[in-house]
Structure 1
Amino acid sequence: MALSSNSKFHIAMFPWLAIGHMTPLLHLANELAKRGHTITYFLPKKAQLQLQHLNLYPNLITFHTLTIPHVDGLPPGTETASDIPIHLCTFLTEASDLTQDQVELAFIAKKPNFVIHDNVHWMPQFVKQFGIKSICYHAVSAATVAIAFVPGLNLPKDRPITKEDLSQPPPGYPSSKVVLLEHESPALMMISQPMGKNITFYERLIKAKKESDAIAMRTCQEFEGKLCEYIATQYQKPVFLTGPVLPGEDMKTPLEDRWANWLGGFNPGSVVFCAFGSQFILEKDQFQELVLGFELAGLPFLIALKPPTGCATIEEALPEGFEERVKGRGVVYGGWVKQPLILKHPSVGCFVSHCGFGSMWESLMSDCQIVLVPLLWDQILNTRQLAEELETAVEVEREKNGWFSKESLCKAIKSVMDADSEVGMKVKNNHTKWKEILGKPEFLNGYVDRFVQNLHDLDGAKQD
């Protein structure tokens, strides 16, 4: 029986086991709990310990611990994508798929109204036996979904996918700016790679959306409206928009003293901060080119990256003499930092990012100038959104092999940080306009309220 429009839902959430996917879904859980809905959030123990401080409504949001089984090819103890290099994610996905028995017991006991899942291809059919409706949720941009995960691609069934199959956007794709360049399109070949047992990345995401009752996107009409409409047309499914679902103002965790004190020693807006997310690991040569670019720019900087390939520590990867040359104005740190809090520090004036979707929204909500070094194809599309479509950022020029030089990185940083730069003024003014739009409480609240109404409408729809 459908619930009344003022009833409260019990919603299960099953994210992809990467911090950049778990975190925005938890932010959405907070927004739903704030409105009185109950959440059962599935995640492994290691992630629970890492994310529990973000649970603002522990009386309504329950973490349900998953035991991630071992599968051949997955390093022992792996629970999240942060534990492994990207090429091993297929094995983590396979392990995640083997938690069905755990999920079934929880569904029988808790009887949720909906499950919001992050492209779990088996979930839509699995939950029908319990009378639960499924919503396929995307923590990535609509551009990423629209250019690579729509049936309109018409990928071949009788032969392997080639570069030529992916060299052009799918029919009807609505943007001429948010695209991959010809030398970048081969990066899309990864969608033909295995992602779990006996299924490709492409097949997995297509099936997850086709068989769900609805699709949900972490974006807004003003930002990616045409792309969301295109996805809805391709799938003949309702597409619900949640807005960016950013951390709430009631997020009270402080910045660690170590970084607060260090940043406090510099003038307002003078420090360049760099982070590339929790997964990506640079090659040593490109890592060294990156840090040398920061040295060349001559500004104070804080870089938070994982040690590059083949290096156990950040220190052993640094160029010879680098630490002595930048002592007092630059730090390269190999651990995890609270990125949103660093971006809010008054001394930080520029953010050099890989433009993962979460970092993209955080950059837009900050007062920092934005310099983008996309590493993967979805990040390239996000970068085109900011640099070409919105003109709120600068993209670092790269060679056709995807690498960048210290000179090109330095040039990009200086183009937004030099006081008399026309480029810097242009992107700053555009950025300010978007921050004002996104920063209005009624803007974000309105999207979540409409999402809740979408759930009521879906709940009231006749069951198949």
Structure 2
Amino acid sequence: MPTPTPTPRPAHIAMFSVAAHGHVNPSLEVIRELVARGHRVTYAIPPAFAEKVAGTGAEPKLWKSTLPGPDADPAAWGSELLDHVELFLADAIQALPQLAEAYHGDAPDLVLHDITAYPARVLAHRWGVPAISLSPNLVAWEGYEEEVAEPMWAEPKRTERGRAYYARFRAWLEENGITQHPDDFAGRPDRSLVLIPKALQPHADRVDETVYTFVGACQGDREAEGEWQRPAGAEKVVLVSLGSTFTDRPGFYRECVQAFGGLPGWHLLLQIGRRVDPEALGTVPANVEVRSWIPQLAVLRQADLFVTHAGAGGSQEGLATATPMIAVPQAVDQFGNADMLQALGVARHIPTAEATAQTLRRTALALVDDPEVARRLKEIQSGMAKEGGTRRAADLIEAELPAELR
């Protein structure tokens, strides 16, 4: 009687991230797909995102973070480069023993990690397993260090504080058997899946595609977020959203109400977040809908215009739904994204200080009726569909598993 072929055990894939919407959300559909394929997936995350992670079928591995929470005032992150990076390093150092304990006796076969999840790379090194970065925004290109990183870090590196930061980072890595320079450790992964469309990547022709693979938007159906119904009789729908962090902008929202409120045939859906009191907007016209939160992708599938802060997630959702955009960036990579969207011919970049009601209205009317903008959006949308999204990301992750688990 022939010996039965043993059934391979499910692979254990561990994902690591921080408690921030823009870092967790892009990974969720990839995690859901891996679970659906029969893998055991754990997801190391602070408690604020445990429920969202569990909804994918993954097992949350909880740890305590010292970073500002997802609904914290943006001022909690500081205003200088060293403010930001010191927070992430301090959090990584205190998180590592927590995570090592959480995975004691349960080491994974493969590590997935957000770009900010430094302990994940340390643990992958300790366990001797492959590590793959899931990047929710742009990645380094050949020449990035000379063109961007070195000028940006020149002044901080000359300060005592900057030198102390690098000394602490290097000492932590060396304690864990890693000899890489902190810059390479943080910014140059061995393998990375890029969860943005290639169209949003600066100098895409200079990105090393043996390391970085652009899989584009991994959005899923988002049914759990709910639906939104376009009002009957609305000829044009404009969504205004500054994302989940930089939402305390009542003055900007009032300009939007003035720009689109009462505009014949238009409906304005205004997401203001949880830190702005709707009363601060004054009396709004009947064609203005004010919400603290909306199911953004569901709205964009029906919208004619998107006024956005140009975060990586929102930018790619605008492209995936072929929605013209007015980009009003608020911080960090959003300024570069806004410039990229404008260079693609699908958006107009308006600095916040110049985003008056008159400018917003004039720009909106020009964008939504421009056939060249519509053509470029359809072209980019088609290109994004070919990047593969969630299924291709899962295929590439499985390809990195040990041979006996594929």
Q: Return the TM-score normalized by structure 2.
A: 0.77
Structure 2 CA distance for partners of 1:376 and 1:14, relative to 1, 3 Å: same
**Which residue is equivalent to 2:311?**
356
Structure 2 CA distance for partners of 1:336 and 1:431, relative to 1, 3 Å: same
**Which residue is equivalent to 2:389?**
444
What amino acid is the match of 1:243?
A: V
Among 347, 364, 386, the residue aligned to 1:413: 364
Distance (whole Å) between structure 2 residues aligned to residue 226 and residue 446 of structure 1: 26
- Return 428-437 or 18-27, whichever deviates more: 428-437
1:232 aligns with 2:217: no
What amino acid is the match of 2:155?
A: P
What amino acid is the match of 2:226?
A: L
Tell me if the contact between 1:115 and 1:133 (Cα under 8 Å) persists in the aligned partners. yes
Distance (whole Å) between structure 2 residues aligned to residue 97 and residue 414 of structure 1: 50
**Which residue is equivalent to 2:245?**
279
Distance (whole Å) between structure 1 residues aligned to residue 248 and residue 164 of structure 2: 23
Q: Return the TM-score normalized by structure 1.
A: 0.68
**Which residue is equivalent to 2:28?**
26
Tell me if the contact between 1:314 and 1:332 (Cα under 8 Å) persists in the aligned partners. no
Distance (whole Å) between structure 2 residues aligned to residue 246 and residue 353 of structure 1: 19
Distance apart, 1:65 and its partner CA: 1.9
Among 223, 230, 247, the residue aligned to 2:219: 247
Tell me if the contact between 2:217 and 2:316 (Cα under 8 Å) persists in the aligned partners. no
- Which secondary structure does the structure 2 equivalent of 1:155 belong to? helix
Structure 2 CA distance for partners of 1:264 and 1:367, relative to 1, 3 Å: farther
Distance apart, 1:406 and its partner CA: 1.7
**Which residue is equivalent to 1:65?**
62
Aligned length: 374
Instruction: Give per-residue Cα distances to partners, 1:233-252, cap 9 Å, x unaligned.
Output: 9xxxx423251242224x43
**Which residue is equivalent to 1:368?**
323
Tell me if the contact between 1:23 and 1:51 (Cα under 8 Å) persists in the aligned partners. no
Distance (whole Å) between structure 2 residues aligned to residue 363 and residue 65 of structure 1: 33
Distance (whole Å) between structure 2 residues aligned to residue 342 and residue 158 of structure 1: 40
**Which residue is equivalent to 1:331?**
289
Identity score, percent:
19
Distance (whole Å) between structure 2 residues aligned to residue 412 and residue 283 of structure 1: 20
Distance (whole Å) between structure 1 residues aligned to residue 324 and residue 53 of structure 2: 28
Structure 2 CA distance for partners of 1:117 and 1:452, relative to 1, 3 Å: closer
**Which residue is equivalent to 2:190?**
213
Among 119, 130, 134, the residue aligned to 1:133: 130
1:317 aligns with 2:275: no
Structure 2 CA distance for partners of 1:23 and 1:445, relative to 1, 3 Å: closer
- Return 85-94 or 24-33, whichever deviates more: 85-94
**Which residue is equivalent to 1:187?**
none
Distance (whole Å) between structure 2 residues aligned to residue 205 and residue 289 of structure 1: 41
Alignment of 1:74-113 (within 5 A): 80-88=69-77, 90=84, 93=88, 94-95=90-91, 97-113=93-109
**Which residue is equivalent to 1:340?**
297
Tell me if the contact between 1:296 and 1:410 (Cα under 8 Å) persists in the aligned partners. no
Distance apart, 1:43 and its partner CA: 1.3
**Which residue is equivalent to 1:397?**
350
Structure 2 CA distance for partners of 1:301 and 1:295, relative to 1, 3 Å: same
Distance apart, 1:360 and its partner CA: 1.4
Distance apart, 1:282 and its partner CA: 4.2
Structure 2 CA distance for partners of 1:23 and 1:84, relative to 1, 3 Å: same
Distance apart, 1:350 and its partner CA: 1.8
- Which secondary structure does the structure 2 equivalent of 1:109 belong to? coil
- Which secondary structure does the structure 2 equivalent of 1:129 belong to? helix
Structure 2 CA distance for partners of 1:455 and 1:83, relative to 1, 3 Å: same
Structure 2 CA distance for partners of 1:275 and 1:205, relative to 1, 3 Å: farther
Instruction: Give per-residue Cα distances to partners, 1:314-361, cap 9 Å, x unaligned.
Output: 22321x5x42xx1x210222x22211122224xx32221112111112
Structure 2 CA distance for partners of 1:96 and 1:339, relative to 1, 3 Å: farther
Distance (whole Å) between structure 1 residues aligned to residue 141 and residue 152 of structure 2: 20
Instruction: Give per-residue Cα distances to partners, 1:61-87, cap 9 Å, x unaligned.
Output: 212122335xxxx7xxx5x33333154
Distance (whole Å) between structure 2 residues aligned to residue 363 and residue 253 of structure 1: 20
Q: Which runs of 5+ in 2 are unaligned?
A: 1-7, 79-83, 171-180
Please, what is the CA RMSD of the aligned residues? 3.8
Alignment of 1:166-245 (within 5 A): 206-210=184-188, 212-220=189-197, 224=201, 227=204, 230-232=206-208, 238-245=210-217
Tell me if the contact between 1:396 and 1:404 (Cα under 8 Å) persists in the aligned partners. no
1:305 aligns with 2:302: no
Structure 2 CA distance for partners of 1:270 and 1:285, relative to 1, 3 Å: closer
What amino acid is the match of 1:397?
A: I
Distance apart, 1:303 and its partner CA: 0.5
**Which residue is equivalent to 2:155?**
160
Structure 2 CA distance for partners of 1:445 and 1:225, relative to 1, 3 Å: farther
